Structure 1
Amino acid sequence: MESTQADYIIVGGGLTGCAVASRLKQRDPALDILILEAGSDPSDREETKTFPPLFSLLGSDLDWKYETVPQPNTAGRVHPVHAGKALGGGSVINFGGWSRGDAADYDHWARVVGDERWSYRGLLPFFRRSESFFDRNADPEQHGFGGPVHVTSVSASDPKRRFPLREPIKDAWLEIGEQFNPDGCSGSSAGVSEFLESWRDGQRQAAYDAYSLDGVRRVTEAVVHKAEFIEKDGEKVASGVLLADGRRFKAGKEIILAAGALRTPQVLMLSGIGPSRTLSKYGIPTVVDNPEVGRNLTDHFALYQLYKLRNPERGLALGSPLLSDPAFTKGLPTDWAVNQAVPAEILEPAIRKDEANLHIATAESLLIPGRPLVETLVLYIPAGVPNIPVDGSMIMTSVMLLSSTSRGIVSIASHSPTDAPVVDSNYFDTEVDKATLIHGSRRTMQALLETAALKDYVEGEVISPGISTLSAQSSDEEFEARIRVTGLAHHHPAGTAGMGTVVDADLRVKGVQALRVADASILPVGIGGHPQATLYAVAEQAVEMILQGQ
């Protein structure tokens, strides 16, 4: 019979949940670690491991398929918010991008919470601990070579994986003034860097593959309703969890919430930790009145564009029979990540317009010279775009906000754990976000359409009926109008149980004992880059804090 007792209960078997469980067990094999995961175990499903079915996983049974409420800043649209519903979480359905934010991102985090452990230097040992970096000549102060997650570049993953547009695209960015950065994953991310990924020999590295769960108990399809508390010496102490089906599990030491930026605040509120007005509305007794639970939601909002290639019979993009070697499908089909700063003459007026809503530390951080605020990827495939053939005739760009200043809210719709959280992402709400994304989009069009390097390769933008075409000379208003009607997020939500407001710098939930959070919800500020490198480092540091507190 399944034991209902454990030393540590981890709510959510996603990326951070698997990493925390694995490291706790490795560090102290005597510990009884239990993961409670709402989704299934996908380890025997081949479509989660390789590239060709990659985009079909979004919207599948392995996806929570959340949706936002209608967004007034994006023409009233309801946006999908994809999140992994499986053991491994987002690492099972993501595209494998591996990047750290700029050092300035983490240093801003450390200043906001007053703790250098969350600065870039403070997190660096945990970045190194999590990775096995492909380039053994890389700086050992910056990179790890024996960690569980294998990190590679596109060109290093397979000698046959040489995309024809690799050098022309790099040259186009250099032509318009961007600088080549030989290691964009070392605290200085600005410039043109090789796109890094966590695929290993063409296979996805789900968190449970990278971080061994040997000896860790897992219960899947276990939707957690709430944490439960006992009184001890006048304190509320988390003692166990109640599942939606009525089962109970008791924790001898701690409960660690790792259910993600949308589900963790929901579990907190259902447990009685959150805004008392919301809790009372749904008949939930208040344990801790904290109006910040669910607030501070941020995401990496983006503009995607399609471009038609000249003479695609030359074999320039996936779908062409000339790119049929399996090496080309060993990961995301791209070569470069281009991280750009925004000129002060563009950024400063936007900051002044946002002055009432931006914390002074945030404004100062945005203006750090050279700090990248927007990323562009050029994909050699019209990835996941409905009704667009994958025939080698088109490529796609993604222009993504790295440190969005717009903030949304996650709340609950009822007292039931099986109802989806209410997500109001509030995309594209600030003047800073508008100025940044417009600048990045304009620069991307300049690189693709106005450079000698690409004039013989890219014909022009492909637009949907009813959408006006853009160029690098289009007005800010024209770019803004396009972003409002077509912009989408990269599905990197964070911040909803922020450090300093909901959890302390040791990840402990304020107002109670024996309850921590270790996932993207703890990020108090926007962190650039694709989140998995940051989140693995968070998990590694969380383990140190948990064991020190035993």
Structure 2
Amino acid sequence: MLLNDHRTLFLTSLREGLRRTRDLKYIKPQAILLSGVNGAILHSASQLSTTTYDFIIVGAGPGGSAVANRLSEDAKTTVLLVEAGGLNDDDITLEVPLLCTRLTPSTRWDWNYTTTPQAGLNGRSVPFPRGIGLGGSSAVNCLVYTRGSKENIDEWAKLSGDESWGWDQLLPYFKKSEKFNFPVDGHNITGQFDPSVHGFDGFIGVSVPNAPRAIDGRIIQTTQELEEFPFKLDMNSGEHLGVGWVQSLIDRGVRSSSKAYLVAPDVAKRPNLDILLNAQVSRALRTSTSGSTMEFKGVEFKDRTDGAIKTLAAKKEVILSAGAVSSPVILMHSGIGPKSLLDSLNITTHVDLPSVGQNLTDHIGVSSTWSVNSTLTFDTVLRNDTLLESLLEEWRTNKTGLLTVTSENHAAFLRIPENSSFWEEFQGQDPAAGKNTAHFEFLFQNGLSVKTDQGNFFNFPTGNVSPLSRGSVTINSSDPFAAPLIDPGLLTNKIDIVVVREAIRSARRFLTASAWDGYLLEAMNTAETDDELDEYIRQEAVSFFHPVATAAMSPVGADWGVVDPDLKVKGVVGLRVVDAAVAPSLPSAHTSAAVYAIAEKASDLIKAAWGII
């Protein structure tokens, strides 16, 4: 597609957006929820009519929201979902997809964590966003929906010792959570996705881009010009290598977070599902001991409206879904974790589980930026208040236009070429899960990156998606409300920085295609040698905020790991973990999709254990 065609598409979107008529009405999700006459939204613990439920679920992110929905499908099962934050319904920024870059860090929707000083980043401490409030991190992320490769998920089966955690068995759960929906601009999406690997009847909206970008045609043309960068029809098929259209967590032009599991009218009206907000859980409570087995069916929390410490009781189970940072922290303050650490903090050790908080694995990457010979970038939109307001009005009115997309329309998952010196340097060691799994990811961003009131830019994030570095989440205080110590150990394994370096060089090769002739003006990153690139990476790289494995599943009876394959915490009764923490390894993907699949499978496991239909 030629540049003039892109200009036409861009201007058409601006000029015609306000004139479009759509047969869809946007109702604020929380408005639906609050209209329920049966199940309750409780803003304070003082509103609780009971403190005992069959199941108490901690955290309203992807894990907790999905499990709360599925368990409450049985009208005889009472469920309480406990969330530290609020409704997350009071700002348009939370709903408009392209405004995702404004949600973190250092906002009221973020826990506002930072890492410990990272040796691999020249001693820098970097932001480590985690969402707070309904939706958790799914309410503040940048919406990219990817599952990883078949090899990634099959690795879970190997590490857990349970074949039911493999790709073929989990694919139905990926699909069960998903509500694939068609773009609001009505364009033909033939050739942009494979419908056979998607679900259409779930709760979480997934869509290919809702509006074109000026660089779309250049990217697709490059896949035709350069053999190194093949086109991939659907990177969520289990075979993800190549360049393809991004699938995003968007439902008819609106962000789709885990709140979708709670706001559907039939769910919101369930009398057996209550949601308690502003309740920060400090620990799971030991409620009894039978022989050598301890039972944890209680929860302690702080009511953030009055500061009071209160308790809840579960008849059947407590389910921690507070995320890869908070779930292990809650476990440690509950006396479940490394005995040496807990003893040093005068926390009574109930179960010595050294793996709690360990094995933190996260993606890392860095952006390279070019100035461009075009005004058709989002830099123009974001510095023109009149234009931006017109696009916001279009979104408010019809849920259409340029703001209905996330920060990229395309992504790529790629491997280091076989002829690279990389393989000789590391003696053939492959950090990926297999030869069909990516080492690095590309994101193609048409603007958004440079904080300046002049010029237009192309931003090219490149990330290592098969890292070997490992870190930890731990505590250094007996105060359960103190900030945790988050050490992702970024770039502590030498192979990881080499992968990022090779990703940058691969990105530069991508831009040598004639498709980019006359478009790129000046590179902001001019590092060339290995040493120069490594220094650039150490100074500029950041986490991609995809932490997993801090309460990893392992085989029954294993002396490592935190939960068994049924996600029950080892050595105790009545306590499970259902969130990204239980993933035993990090997929080469953004992690929301994986957590939804984990939660759907976990729901079936819990139902089967308790005979729930």
Equivalence for 1:535: 595
Equivalence for 1:29: 75
Equivalence for 2:408: 334
Contact 2:437 2:588 in 1 (8 A): no
Equivalence for 2:121: 74
Alignment identity in percent? 31
| SS of residue paired to 2:362 | coil
Q: Deviations over 1:223-281 (max 9, x none)?
A: 11111111134410112111133200000000100011111110000000111111011
TM-score (norm 2): 0.81
- Give how far 1:316 is off: 4.2
- Give how far 1:173 is off: 4.3
- Stretches of structure 2 that go unaligned for 5 or more consecutive residues are 1-46, 183-188, 303-307, 395-400, 555-560
Contact 2:462 2:500 in 1 (8 A): yes
- Give how far 1:478 is off: 2.1
Q: 1:548 to 1:461 in 2, by over 3 A?
A: same
Equivalence for 1:422: 485
Contact 1:428 1:434 in 2 (8 A): yes
Contact 1:382 1:388 in 2 (8 A): no
- Give how far 1:441 is off: 1.2
Q: Deviations over 1:30-65 (max 9, x none)?
A: 211111111111134322111454322212111001
Equivalence for 1:122: 169
| SS of residue paired to 2:86 | coil
Contact 2:138 2:258 in 1 (8 A): yes
Mapped to 2, the partners of 1:52 and 1:338 lie a distance apart of 20
Equivalence for 1:205: 256
What amino acid is aligned across from residue 402 of structure 2 in structure 1? F
What amino acid is aligned across from residue 535 of structure 1 in structure 2? V
Contact 2:147 2:594 in 1 (8 A): yes
What amino acid is aligned across from residue 111 of structure 2 in structure 1? W
Aligned partner (choices 245, 259, 262) of residue 322 of structure 2:
259
Equivalence for 1:374: 440
Does residue 488 of the first structure (1) align with residue 542 of the second (2)? yes
Q: 1:548 to 1:22 in 2, by over 3 A?
A: same
Aligned partner (choices 221, 231, 234) of residue 289 of structure 2:
231
Q: 1:409 to 1:128 in 2, by over 3 A?
A: same
Equivalence for 1:172: 222
Q: Deviations over 1:405-458 (max 9, x none)?
A: 11001101211121011011110121331222111111112222x221102111
- Give how far 1:6 is off: 0.7
Mean alpha-carbon deviation: is it higher for 475-484 or for 416-425?
Answer: 475-484
Mean alpha-carbon deviation: is it higher for 433-442 or for 47-56?
Answer: 47-56
- Give how far 1:392 is off: 6.3
Mapped to 2, the partners of 1:289 and 1:433 lie a distance apart of 32
TM-score (norm 1): 0.90
Does residue 388 of the first structure (1) align with residue 448 of the second (2)? no
What amino acid is aligned across from residue 262 of structure 1 in structure 2? V
Contact 1:317 1:395 in 2 (8 A): no
What amino acid is aligned across from residue 374 of structure 1 in structure 2? F
Contact 2:98 2:404 in 1 (8 A): no
Q: Map residues 229-378 of structure 1 onto 2, 5 A cutoff.
A: 229=286, 230-244=288-302, 245-310=308-373, 312-313=374-375, 315-319=376-380, 326=394, 327-344=401-418, 345-349=420-424, 351-352=426-427, 366=432, 368-378=434-444
| SS of residue paired to 1:192 | strand
Mapped to 2, the partners of 1:167 and 1:392 lie a distance apart of 22
Q: 1:218 to 1:275 in 2, by over 3 A?
A: same
Equivalence for 1:57: 103
What amino acid is aligned across from residue 432 of structure 2 in structure 1? L
Mapped to 1, the partners of 2:476 and 2:546 lie a distance apart of 22
| SS of residue paired to 2:359 | coil
- Give how far 1:109 is off: 1.6
Aligned partner (choices 480, 493, 507) of residue 567 of structure 2:
507
Q: 1:346 to 1:372 in 2, by over 3 A?
A: farther
Q: Deviations over 1:190-239 (max 9, x none)?
A: 00110110112321112112444523211111111111111134410112
Contact 1:109 1:524 in 2 (8 A): yes
Mean alpha-carbon deviation: is it higher for 337-346 or for 62-71?
Answer: 337-346
Q: Deviations over 1:90-140 (max 9, x none)?
A: 111111111110111111121122211111111101011011224798656
Contact 2:361 2:586 in 1 (8 A): yes
Paired positions, count: 521
Q: Map residues 83-232 of structure 1 onto 2, 5 A cutoff.
A: 83-134=130-181, 141-154=196-209, 157=210, 161-177=211-227, 178-212=229-263, 213-214=267-268, 215=270, 216-229=273-286, 230-232=288-290
Q: 1:191 to 1:543 in 2, by over 3 A?
A: same
- Stretches of structure 1 that go unaligned for 5 or more consecutive residues are 354-362, 464-468
Equivalence for 1:356: none
Contact 1:350 1:435 in 2 (8 A): no
| SS of residue paired to 1:242 | strand
Q: 1:414 to 1:340 in 2, by over 3 A?
A: same
Q: Map residues 433-448 of structure 1 onto 2, 5 A cutoff.
A: 433-448=496-511
Q: Deviations over 1:130-169 (max 9, x none)?
A: 1122479865652211111121111xx2xxx221211112
Mapped to 2, the partners of 1:41 and 1:170 lie a distance apart of 40
Mean alpha-carbon deviation: is it higher for 344-353 or for 60-69?
Answer: 344-353
- Give how far 1:483 is off: 0.6
- Give how far 1:318 is off: 4.4
Mean alpha-carbon deviation: is it higher for 73-82 or for 391-400?
Answer: 391-400
